[in-house]
Amino acid sequence: MIDGTTRRAWAYLSRVAEPPNPWLAQLVSAVGAVEAADRIRRRDRALDEHLERSTHARHEIDCAESDLDILDRVGGRLITLEDDEYPSLAFTGFRQVKAKDKKPQAHPPLVLWTVGPASMIDVAERSAALVGTRAASAYGEYVAGDLAVGLVERDVAVVSGGAYGIDGAAHRATLAADGVTVAVLACGIDVPYPSGHSALLHRISRSGLVVSEYPPGTRPTRRQFLSRNRLVAALGRATVVVEAGVRSGAANTAAWADALGRTVGAVPGPITSASSVGCHALIDGDAKVITRAADIVELIGRMGEFAPELERPVSELDALSAAELAVYEALPRRGSRTVDEIAVAAGLPVSDVLGPLTMLDVRGLVTQVDGCWKLAKR
């Protein structure tokens, strides 16, 4: 348990620069949170030029006490780089993001403001991100819910962004199935956004986790949504896009997942649906086709945890030999044929027809009437 001074320092640092800020993270790593906060407040001359510039506008704003009061009132936790609950392993992927990807936000969060009983470590160990368009179709919402329930049955936490559409469908289905779901916000944990999901976010905070790297009171912006997407991708062992247009937040999350070395999956949809164009583009690339929860578990599960073979319809004809099938198909749908007629239709010698006819009779597929053979009534 960190002391009050250190906790206030982390809260101050969370607000003083727009996250993620690699120069701030470097300073904290070098001197600790308390000393880093002090140096920024007094504009220490040794501050890195980038850090000095990025903290200039807010260095005199210290809302740490009030921010922490808000967090404490809702029973939340401030998870920092120094905490055991900080999911360091989930964020190691940021180190491998290549410069050519041009992702300046490819850095782990300094702190996480969280509300909910679920453990960040446990969630990140076995989780999948289900994301998609806000303008979801009935098909998309059904599939998102079906996948979420299937993941819950397999002890997988569902991560998403708390938005309307696919996100909301995934969260609601997970809660209905008594599973663990995580909503990663692009605003403060006390800001109900979207407002129509205020009750949903409250329900998530009662059994799962509501997470943000932004301090209380922060309103969402487009830049913050794009930055938030990297955390959704990082906290999910795989990211599955259920429905998305060509340019969408879900496609951005998938791009982050790919850059972080995570597996990307996409659900195919109708070729006439604009909401599935993004999914089809991903599948045309390297994304895995996802049609059931077991497909996702195979991507994120333990070694040897494979999806079961798809059940295929079984017909009595499947067990027939080639000769038996030829004889069976030589019989008309109506009426009957003699052995000689069957032999001609099947292209077989008469001697090669009698044995298959006997086996078909034993199986109850044909019957003999007045010296002729016909298909049995079924």
pLDDT digits (tens, 9 = 90+) for 321-346: 999 999 999 999 889 999 999 999 99
Rounded to whole angstroms, the Cα distance separating 122 from 222 reads: 30
How far, CA to CA in Å, does 37 sit from each of 212, 219, 300?
Answer: 21, 23, 39
Q: For residue 111, which phi and psi values (nearest 5 degrees)?
A: -140, 160
55 and 67 co-located in one domain: no
Do 221 and 131 lie in one domain? The reply is yes
Burial 48-77 (b: 16+ CB within 10 A, else e): eeebbebbeeebeebbbeebbebbeeeebb
- Strands of the sheet containing 181-184, edge to edge, are 77-80, 111-115, 209-212, 181-184, 157-160, 127-132, 238-243, 263-266, 288-289
Closest CA to 308 of 298, 320, 319, 299: 298
Q: What are φ and ψ of residue 42, in 5° steps? A: -95, 10
Cβ-contact 179, 158 below 8 angstroms: yes
Q: Are 143 and 226 in a shared domain?
A: yes
Residue 24 lies in a domain: yes
Q: What are phi and psi of 18, to 5 degrees?
A: -65, 125
Can the peptide bond before residue 192 be classed as cis, meaning omega within 30 degrees of 0? no
CB neighbours (10 Å) of residue 130? 34
Tell me which residue range forms the domain holding 68. Answer: 63-300
Judge whether residue 1 has pLDDT over 70. Answer: no
Q: Domain boundary at 44, 61, 78, which? A: 61
Q: Verify that 56 and 71 share a domain, yes or no.
A: no
β pairing state of 263-266 and 288-289? parallel
Q: What is the mean pLDDT of residues 152-158?
A: 96
Say if residue 269 is in the same domain as residue 334: no
- Cβ-proximal residues to 194 (8 Å cutoff; 6+ apart), any chain: 162, 163, 164
Q: What percent of the chain has pLDDT over 90?
A: 82
Give the number of domains in the chain.
3
Q: Is residue 306 part of a domain?
A: no
- Give the span between the Cα atoms of 41 and 243, in whole angstroms: 46
Write the CB contacts of 36 (distance below 8 Å, at least 6 apart in sequence): 9, 13, 24, 27, 28, 30
Query: Would the pLDDT of 165 be above 90?
Result: yes
Query: Do 255 and 277 lie in a common domain?
Result: yes
pLDDT above 70 (res 303): no
Please report which confidence band the pLDDT of residue 101 belongs to, taking 50, 70 and 90 as the band edges. low
Low-confidence winner among 51-65, 96-110, 236-250, 257-271 (lowest mean pLDDT): 96-110
